[in-house]
Amino acid sequence: MLIHIRHRTELAYSSRTSESVMELRMTPKTTTRQTLRGFSLAVGPTATLVEHADWLGNRVHQFSVVAGHDRLIIVAESCVETTRVEPGDLKTLGGPYPVVVEDHRLFDFLGFQGPITPDPRLPALAAQLGIASGAGIGEVVYKVQSGLRDVVQYKKGITGAQTGIAEVLDRGAGVCQDLSHVAIGLFRTLGIPARYVSGYVHREGEAAELETHAWVEAHVPGVGFVALDPTHASELDEQHVAVAIGRSFADVPPNRGVYRGDASEEIRVSVHMQEVTEVPKGLLAPRAANVEVPSFDDGPAAHREELDYQQEQEQQQQQQQ
Gap between the Cα atoms of 183 and 141, Å rounded: 9
Q: How far apart are CA 116 and CA 167, in angstroms?
A: 11
CA 297 to chain centre: 34
| pTM of the predicted model as reported, rounded to 2 decimal places | 0.87
> What does DSSP say about strands 50-53 and 59-65: parallel, antiparallel, or unpaired?
antiparallel
What's residue 208's pLDDT? 43
Of the candidates 313, 304, 218, which has an alpha carbon nearest to the alpha carbon of residue 261? 304
Mean pLDDT by 10 residues, the chain (321 residues): 95 91 97 94 93 96 93 95 81 85 94 93 95 90 95 92 93 95 96 97 64 92 93 92 97 94 91 93 74 71 54 63 52
- Rounded to 10°, the helix 137-151/176-189 angle is 140
Q: How far from 269 is each of 9, 159, 246, CA to CA, in Å?
A: 5, 17, 22
**Residue 260: Cβ within 10 Å count:** 15
